[in-house]
């Protein structure tokens, strides 16, 4: 008896088998110094270096056209997602609303992020790149 393989059935079986394989999310140790340059939806530019320590605490000095802003907060991580939640922002001059970065890990050295501050202002997607070990600013 000659059996003829139907390529459609074989392809369907392969697809079904691969759908049941769990996807391994990439998680990283976020400790270190991470650098960014971002533009919000109003066209305003910001840049800085975020320091994340071993306890999940985050600090940053954000540079903007209105001067530097010191921010402190913490991180939340789950699988390949990391949130950097700043809870305090201090600067001389106008009030600055603390940032909240929503990031997806791309590699051990890079994340793709967006920002929505506590006032609801958002940014376009930007890169967050590891530039050093913890403690360096």
C-alpha angle 37/39/102, rounded to 5°? 75
Structural domains of the chain, count: 1
Structural domain for 122, as ranges: 32-132
Return per-residue pLDDT of the chain as tens, 137 residues.
554 544 443 333 333 333 333 334 467 899 999 999 999 888 999 999 999 999 999 999 999 999 999 999 999 998 889 999 999 999 998 899 999 999 999 999 999 999 988 778 888 899 999 999 865 55
What pTM did the predictor assign?
Answer: 0.77
Sign of the CA dihedral 37, 49, 79, 117?
negative
| 6 located within any domain | no
For residue 72, the model assigns a pLDDT of: 98
CATH code: domain of residue 93 = 2.40.128.80
| 112 located within any domain | yes
| 78 located within any domain | yes
| 42 located within any domain | yes
Which residue, among 52, 96, 44, has the nearest Cα to 70 in the 3D structure?
A: 96
d(CA 60, CA 81): 20
For residue 134, the model assigns a pLDDT of: 63
């Amino acid at each position: 008896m000659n059996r003829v393989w139907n390529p459609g059935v074989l392809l369907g079986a392969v697809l079904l088998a691969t759908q049941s394989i769990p996807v391994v999310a990439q998680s990283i140790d976020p400790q270190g110094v991470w650098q960014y340059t971002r533009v919000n939806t109003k066209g305003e530019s910001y840049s800085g270096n975020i320091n994340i320590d071993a306890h999940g605490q985050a600090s940053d000095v954000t540079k903007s056209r209105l001067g530097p802003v010191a921010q402190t907060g913490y991180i939340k991580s789950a699988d390949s997602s990391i949130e950097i939640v700043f809870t305090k922002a201090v600067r001389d001059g106008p009030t600055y609303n603390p940032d909240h970065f929503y990031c997806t890990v791309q590699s051990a050295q890079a994340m793709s992020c967006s920002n929505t501050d506590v006032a609801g202002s958002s940014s376009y997607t930007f890169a967050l790149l590891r530039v050093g070990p913890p403690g360096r600013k």
